[in-house]
Structure 1
Amino acid sequence: MSQNRSSLRLFSLAPATNTSHSPPMSDWEPPSFTRAAQIRVGAIFVLFLLAACSNLALLASVWCGRGRRLASHLRPLMLSLASADLMMTFVVMPLDAVWNVTVQWYGGDALCKLLCFLKLFAMQASAFILVVISLDRQHAILYPLDALRAHRRNRHMLLIAWSLSLLLASPQLFIFRAIRVEALDFTQCVTHGSFSRHWQETLYNMFQFTTLYIVPLLVMTCCYGRILLHIHQQHVRDKAGESYLRRSGTDIIPKARMKTLKMTVVIVLTFVVCWTPYYLLGIWYWFQPDMLQVTPEYVHHGLFVFGNLNTCCDPVIYGFYTPSFRADLAACCRWMFGDPSPPSPNRLSARPGPPRGELDPATSNQEAK
């Protein structure tokens, strides 16, 4: 069985030999570095460069650029999102590319456990932080007068998100191991022998799938569903003349807050669009494993690469909705290509903000509500 089809083992996160009920080792055929895998490695390398540059730029902007003026309760959210994306960039992408090139595992048992743990930890953190962002937007829209407790509430939710990610990824440290097939002189990082029954492995995979995708998706859907319902109800009241504080239905919520809401909706939708095909294909293989042999190899690789595209999209979406981020990038480019003075935070903050009428969620104090 080709290693490249292994990427559909979603939550064990290892090659196709990663199963407690693989064929007998004596009948097993080692995987190879196929043409489809080579294309996958090239695509992952391009995504790695894009994701690393864009997320590092976002992190720098929010940490020491104009993004410092982001509302106090939003700034930790964007820092955490950029950090989770960088974990995906510097752990998941290089590990996947190198593993496809080497085909077998050369890192030893300890590194096998550690990297498989970090891989799932990065994926869990990325999903849970989107949940925290969705909960924050729900609270900001439904309870706009409760802004004073937003910073503390978000810190607690982020702590829970990172802690849960750590906890849910910890089984990887125990079920993975480096196993050597002496007859074939082949070593692989797998879960072979970690589960005594096939249903135990299936249960583990389903649990990880639920926590990694189903639960975040349900929570985010519920949050934005409540937000849309709230906006609709406010709009109906305005049209009925029940609101005397707003001039029109377009003023249901402040423009800066609405802009940030649109940005977070697009970020969440991007996560869903990028990863859903990959997860659905993985579920299909759980219940019909024979399809793994007949589905074209490029389908598996293409869906995995498409899922990793999400890591590059977050900073692009943030930049599209945030003029301050684009200003930081422009200042950095001027410094790199001839401006003798570096783009220090003082220079960035001294420059004029966006034109009047262009509300920036990263610089608008109104968004602190």
Structure 2
Amino acid sequence: MNVTGWQRDALLAVAEVVVLAVILVMALLGNGLVLVVLLRRRRHHNPLHLFMLNLCLADLVVALFQVLPQLVWDAKGRFPGPDFLCRLVKYLQVLGMFASSYMIVAMTVDRHYAICCPLQAHRSGATQRWNTFILLAWGLSLLLSLPQVFIFSRSEVAPGVYECWGNFAESWGLKAYVTWMTLAVFILPVVIITVCQPGPAASSAFCCPLPKAPTARGGEVSAAMSKTVRMTLVIVLVYSLCWAPFFSVQLWAAWDPDPPQNGAVFTLLMLLASLNSCTNPWIYSAFSSIQLYGKLINILCLVCLIQTLYFILYM
């Protein structure tokens, strides 16, 4: 019975490592490529490009400081580091979650403002406006991640066994912590995003009254805005699909006295949230002129060429 349980846990650990490795590679490739392209076009940045650049940075934080440490952690079986590293990793893991989530919120609020109040948006100065939203998203992420430093530490979970563990002074501390994280990272952003999504109802209820003014490029601007809105909707939909299972499982584990924490489905669902950091650059590529698939194929061909030359020269 013990042997069977150990084999099942070992297979599950291997599955976790494989899933995390795939997510890590996809997130680094996709976000890295989009980031390079956007930086090369920095002279022609529009608000959407700037938001996507910061969203790529947030997703890279998730990949490097959430997925990668968790991958090493799962591969080794326990946290391989001192107390300072434990607190730092836990802080950066949540920072990526907050930043990725809040950058999507900032982008949605900005698009709502640009569509519903274009004249006010133009008068207030576009550059200052979207920089403010981005700075607010990063500032809130840095601030709201601070409790991680005080909650988690390198603790002795068994005689002679140390782990990076969360410590709560009260028995209800874990429930309060998970509920707060669900509200701050998922539910509240989804509510804001839902309210700010442009549409007939939102336009009549929340938008500023606009005087009718003819524009020479009205059709072109309308088409570009429509594409931007569709892209934002897809990003938000994928965001919700990735995060909803994760937080549902987290709430279940915190509030249920006997949750199936060792089940394969239960465990792998908790890894699904990181998949959101892989999807954003590909969604952006599909709705823009960035041919991400072609660039990825070029990189893979270059890698194959280097491997072939290495094999010919040294084998």
Of 149, 174, 177, which residue of structure 2 is paired with 1:204? Answer: 177
* Equivalent in the alignment of 2:199: 227
After the TM superposition, which of the residue ranges 173-182 and 130-139 deviates more from structure 2? 173-182
* 3-state SS of 1:178 partner: strand
CA distance in 2 between counterparts of 1:59 and 1:267 reads: 17
* Equivalent in the alignment of 1:314: 280
Tell me the amino acid that sits aligned with residue 201 of structure 2: L
* 3-state SS of 2:270 partner: helix
1:160 CA drift (Å): 1.2
CA distance in 2 between counterparts of 1:270 and 1:334 reads: 26
CA distance in 2 between counterparts of 1:128 and 1:264 reads: 13
Is the CA contact (8 Å cut-off) linking 1:33 and 1:100 kept in structure 2? Answer: no
Is the CA contact (8 Å cut-off) linking 1:141 and 1:253 kept in structure 2? Answer: no
Matched, 1:86 2:60: yes
Tell me the amino acid that sits aligned with residue 164 of structure 1: L
CA distance in 2 between counterparts of 1:152 and 1:101 reads: 45
* Equivalent in the alignment of 2:311: none
Q: How does 1:168-317 map to 2 (within 5 A)?
A: 168-181=144-157, 183=159, 185-192=160-167, 195-224=168-197, 226-230=198-202, 254-292=222-260, 297-317=263-283
1:139 CA drift (Å): 0.7
Q: Name structure 1 gaps, 5 residues minimum.
A: 1-29, 234-242, 338-369
CA distance in 1 between counterparts of 2:149 and 2:288 reads: 40
Q: CA, structure 1 residues 68+269, in 2 after alignment: closer, same or farther (shift >3 Å)?
A: farther
CA distance in 1 between counterparts of 2:12 and 2:293 reads: 40
Is the CA contact (8 Å cut-off) linking 2:38 and 2:53 kept in structure 1? Answer: yes
CA distance in 2 between counterparts of 1:107 and 1:170 reads: 20
CA distance in 1 between counterparts of 2:301 and 2:71 reads: 33
Is the CA contact (8 Å cut-off) linking 1:275 and 1:307 kept in structure 2? Answer: yes
Query: Runs ≥4 in structure 1, deviation > 6 angstroms?
Result: none
Question: Which deviations, in whole Å up to 9, do the C-alpha atoms of 1:14-36 show, x marking residues without a partner?
Answer: xxxxxxxxxxxxxxxx9x95211
* Equivalent in the alignment of 2:37: 61
CA distance in 1 between counterparts of 2:154 and 2:297 reads: 48
Q: CA, structure 1 residues 80+328, in 2 after alignment: closer, same or farther (shift >3 Å)?
A: farther
CA distance in 1 between counterparts of 2:267 and 2:66 reads: 14
Task: Kindly report the root-mean-square deviation, in angstroms, between the aligned alpha carbons of the 2 structures.
Answer: 3.1
Is the CA contact (8 Å cut-off) linking 2:73 and 2:80 kept in structure 1? Answer: no
Tell me the amino acid that sits aligned with residue 274 of structure 1: C
Q: CA, structure 1 residues 78+60, in 2 after alignment: closer, same or farther (shift >3 Å)?
A: same
What TM-score do the two structures reach when normalised by structure 2?
A: 0.82
Structure 1 or 2: more helix by fraction? 2
1:100 CA drift (Å): 1.1
CA distance in 2 between counterparts of 1:131 and 1:189 reads: 31
* Equivalent in the alignment of 1:16: none
Is the CA contact (8 Å cut-off) linking 2:87 and 2:149 kept in structure 1? Answer: yes
CA distance in 1 between counterparts of 2:256 and 2:106 reads: 35
Identity, % of aligned positions: 28
Tell me the amino acid that sits aligned with residue 271 of structure 2: V
* 3-state SS of 1:291 partner: coil
Question: Which deviations, in whole Å up to 9, do the C-alpha atoms of 1:148-170 show, x marking residues without a partner?
Answer: 52221111111111111111110
CA distance in 1 between counterparts of 2:36 and 2:89 reads: 26
1:219 CA drift (Å): 0.3
CA distance in 2 between counterparts of 1:108 and 1:307 reads: 27
Question: Which deviations, in whole Å up to 9, do the C-alpha atoms of 1:69-101 show, x marking residues without a partner?
Answer: 341x23321111000010111111111111112
Tell me the amino acid that sits aligned with residue 298 of structure 1: A
Question: Which deviations, in whole Å up to 9, do the C-alpha atoms of 1:191-218 show, x marking residues without a partner?
Answer: 23xx221123322322222111111110
CA distance in 2 between counterparts of 1:144 and 1:56 reads: 32
After the TM superposition, which of the residue ranges 206-215 and 147-156 deviates more from structure 2? 147-156
CA distance in 2 between counterparts of 1:132 and 1:203 reads: 26
What TM-score do the two structures reach when normalised by structure 1?
A: 0.71
Matched, 1:138 2:112: yes
Tell me the amino acid that sits aligned with residue 78 of structure 2: Q
Q: CA, structure 1 residues 205+304, in 2 after alignment: closer, same or farther (shift >3 Å)?
A: closer
The alignment covers a number of residue pairs equal to 289
**Higher RCO (CA-CA < 8 Å; seq separation 6+):** 1
Tell me the amino acid that sits aligned with residue 183 of structure 2: T
